[in-house]
Structure 1
Amino acid sequence: MHVVLLGTYDLGKPRTRLLRQSLQAIDPGLQELHVDVWRGVEDKSVMHGMAARLSIGLKMLFGYPWLALRYLFCGRHDVVVIGYMGLFDMLLLAPLAKMRGKPVVWDVFLSVYDTWVRDRGMGREGSLSARLLRRMERRACRTADRLVMDTRAHAALLQQLHDVPESKLDAVLVGAEEGAFTPSGNQPAASTDTGVSILFYGQFIPLHGIDTIIDAALDPRGRPHSWTIVGSGQEAARIDDRLQDADTAHVQRHDWVDYAKLAGLMSGAHVCLGIFGTSQKAASVIPNKVYQTLLCGKPLITSDSPAMRELARQEQAGLYLVPAGDPQALLDAIDRFAQERAELPAVLHRHLCEDFSLTALTRQWRGVLEKAVAQ
């Protein structure tokens, strides 16, 4: 099977890097037609200043004609894959593939409309801009032959949002890069005298439910523990204000840590945190940090959700699933971990990791492409 990976896909996202690796395993002669638009943009919802927006706009303005020309003259292929973020790629480039009679697989990964309007509250639902964005995304969904999300729960959300036929939807897990995250065991590299050492890292967005973590950390039950909170983004200023107004000697706050240093940071913690948001989207996704924690073999506390139950269908040692938005349940899970950590296996989650290994992801992507070509 000959594949073209086309568009302005974000090379900074683990999802995209793993997609590329999977496609290269399926087609060693993979043709990549790419313009790098998103380099250096960690959180696309909080691009500050006209200069950053102008830079993105100019890259797209000059990049799309170049991509269109390269695609029209590219060699023989069976299927076109549009990676994340692919909304404009679908609107501007996918019609060229249809013109050449080639099926288009769109790795949607997330709905821009749902993220911008409903999850992050950056736009008002029903406003002109929101309606326009929704129509654009719906048009893109209709153009694609196959639409791929990260979980079946997330695919169901897209189906509901844009009236997508269920027969067009697929789900491929996100996973984590095995070279960057390797098992480090369930004990930290350095001990702590302040109870359990707890790590959260990620973008400060509503989906992550960071207030639940802060509530737990500031609760009397949370104060004997050591909390490290790493990240930046939409809600960072508000969270920092909360911490500044409280007694937080037991809380360490860092703006950001380089991706290459995350595994080392995780190895120094007893337990890592996932997400605790209460939105429909939060219940529909499994974030990168969950896969990375599992791959490192570290104890993990995260929300019990339909998405997580797709991966962890039964109770697993060192994996604590708690109700979303409930700081007391989070503290209960920490207490449970503290009581049983000496009995936990030295390395956790090996069985779960098999389900999102590169071999497993490649198998999933191959199935998607085969369905697209057969349509």
Structure 2
Amino acid sequence: MSNMIHHPHDLPAAVLEPKRRTQLAYILAYRAPDYIRSQSLLQALGNCSHIELLIARNRNMGVKRYAETWRALCQLRKAHSPDIYLLGFRGHEMFWPVRWLTREKPLVFDALMSPSAALREENKAGWLGRLLAPVMHHLERSILQRADLVLTDTTQHAAFYETQFGLPKEKILVIPVGAVETGASSEATEEIEATEAPFNVLFYGSMLPLHGIDIIVSAAAQLSDLPIHFDFVGGNAQQAQRLQDLCTTYGVTRYTHRFWVPLDELIAVDIPRTDLCLGGPFGGTPQARRVITGKTSQCLALGKATIIGAIDEDTGFVDKHNCLLVPQADATALATALRWSFAHRDTLPGIGQHGQALYHERLSVHSIAQQLIPTLLKLREAHHGKP
């Protein structure tokens, strides 16, 4: 039930000189156990020679996942007694049992995004979600207050946790979501030539309000004179029906929808073969204005030109240099970026290369490790120094 990964990582030696390797237990009971956030954190932790990584995670995606992870965690704790525990996204349901079990050791909580905000601001779960949002907010506040360190993905989210839940700045660590890093070079996309062939645009994801599917379809309707094909991947049956209804209403016909494609297939086939990726978010919702989406990081990591919805943060994104940057909730601006991309498709590989460089500089697994590992080791040393 546990797994150990030991690899060297080029972190500053002056910062990382504990007397022995720090044993860190990563705990996960999420319905998507291979979610990019989890993969990136595990790679960052596993690549550090100062960390001995122990893993208690689920493979079952149903409710049995909680018992599966709990058994693994109990066995892991008995065998190793780790120095630090990290409860991965989304661990709210398991927080209090895990906090009880690990009460004598530091517990890091990967909050990433707020479930109560999703209920309140994003209308997740409809009227029932709005009704339950205050209860979830109270529970979430108690969880965040009780964790020793809270992880999130942007400074906008950090500020949100400070104001909404009263967390001190020093208790929050901002690290990017990361991506699955294959080592593929963006140079492979340079073989694509500008032709009269259809221009393919890829969107994949959950189709939640923050992603702005209505904005995408409205933009597509403004491009009926161009052979641009939209490939949508993801969403449930209700979201797929809404997509179809939107396309019918707007008269959009050049599109396909697939409910699901394995992540490794998206990374190996769909993203490299498309002309342009929609990273978003485009919805303009409160949550949309706090995130850099996982799909954005993944597409940039693969060197693919990506349209990104701007947020109020120094992201390093520069329009027509390392991405196509558009304001959110603006279908006309998105249509303009798509039309420009079609007309300048020969420049997209270069934009993708610059985007890949930005990913490696700011959003990569290496960047995660550079920020996370020293903080974890300081947390361990501070805990050991307590009376």
Partner of 2:209: 206
Per the TM alignment, residue 34 of structure 1 is displaced from its structure 2 partner at its CA by 3.1
TM-score, scaled to structure 1: 0.84
Residue aligning to 2:151: 148
Deviates further, 185-194 or 17-26: 185-194
User: Is 1:287 matched with 2:293?
Assistant: yes
Please show how residues 32-51 of structure 1 align to structure 2 within 5 Å: 32-37=55-60, 39=61
Contact 1:8 1:86 in 2 (8 A): yes
CA distance, structure 1, for counterparts of residue 37 and residue 288 of structure 2: 17
For structure 1, the residue ranges without an aligned partner over 5 or more in a row are 40-54
Match of 1:302 among 305, 308, 318: 308
Contact 1:181 1:292 in 2 (8 A): no
Instruction: Trace 1:256-295 onto structure 2 (pairs within 5 A).
Output: 256-263=260-267, 264-275=269-280, 276-295=282-301
In structure 2, do the counterparts of structure 1 residues 203 and 344 end up closer, same or farther at CA, with 3 Å as the change threshold?
closer
Report if aligned partners of 2:317, 2:323 keep a CA contact under 8 Å in 1: no
The CA distance in 2 between the partners of 1:316 and 1:110, in whole Å, is 29
Instruction: Identify the residue that residue 25 of structure 1 maps to in structure 2.
Output: 47
Name the aligned partner's letter for residue 372 of structure 2.
W
SS of residue matched to 2:277: strand
RMSD over aligned CA atoms reads: 2.8
Corresponding residue number in structure 1 for 2:324: 320
Name the amino acid aligned to 1:207: L
Displacement of 1:13 in angstroms is 0.4
Aligned equivalent of 2:88: 83
Q: Distance in 1 between matches of 2:188 and 2:90?
A: 34
> Partner of 1:156: helix, strand, or coil?
helix
Query: Match for residue 176 of structure 1?
Result: 179
Residue 51 of structure 1 corresponds to none
| Residues 93, 321 of structure 1: alpha-carbon distance in 2 compared, 3 angstrom cutoff | same
Q: Give the drift of 1:73.
A: 1.8
**Distance between the aligned counterparts of 2:224 and 2:246, measured in 1?**
18
Task: Tell me how far apart the structure 1 counterparts of residues 184 and 125 of structure 2 sit (CA, whole Å).
Answer: 33
Distance in 2 between residues matched to 1:253 and 1:118, nearest whole Å: 27
**Cα distance in 2 for residues equivalent to 1:268 and 1:369:** 39
| Residue 66 (structure 1) aligned with residue 89 (structure 2) | no
Q: Deviations over 1:254-281 (max 9, x none)?
A: 3322212213112222211122011111
Q: Deviations over 1:238-263 (max 9, x none)?
A: 11122245544422333322212213
**TM-score scaled by length of structure 2:** 0.81
| Structure 1 equivalent of residue 17 of structure 2 | none
Q: 2:244 matched to 1:237?
A: no
1:311 counterpart SS class: coil
**Aligned counterparts of 2:186 and 2:70: Cα–Cα separation in 1:** 45
**Alpha-carbon offset, residue 161 of structure 1:** 2.3
Give me the whole-angstrom Cα distance separating, in 1, the residues matched to 2:284 and 2:240.
18
Q: 1:260 to 1:222 in 2, by over 3 A?
A: farther
1:178 counterpart letter in structure 2: E
Q: Is the 8 A contact 2:206 2:234 kept in 1?
A: yes
Q: In the alignment, is residue 13 of structure 1 matched against residue 18 of structure 2? A: no
3-state DSSP class of the match of 1:175?
Answer: coil
The 2-side partners of 1:295 and 1:271 are apart by 14
Matched ranges for 1:341-360 at <5 A: 341-343=345-347, 346=350, 347-354=353-360, 355-360=362-367
Q: SS at the partner of 2:102? A: helix
Q: 1:285 Cα deviation (Å)?
A: 0.8
Task: Please identify, of 212-221 and 185-194, the stretch whose mean Cα deviation from structure 2 is larger.
Answer: 185-194
- Residue ranges of structure 2 left out of the alignment (5+ in a row): 1-21, 383-387
Q: How far off is 1:181 after superposition? A: 6.0
Note if contact 1:186-1:299 (Cα within 8 Å) is conserved in structure 2.
Answer: no
Deviations 1:200-220 (A, max 9, x none): 221111110011110011125
Could you tell me how far 1:150 is from its partner in structure 2? 1.1
Q: Contact 2:234–2:259 at 8 Å: present in 1 too? A: yes
Distance 1:326 1:186, change over 3 A: farther
CA distance in 2, matches of 1:199, 1:316: 18
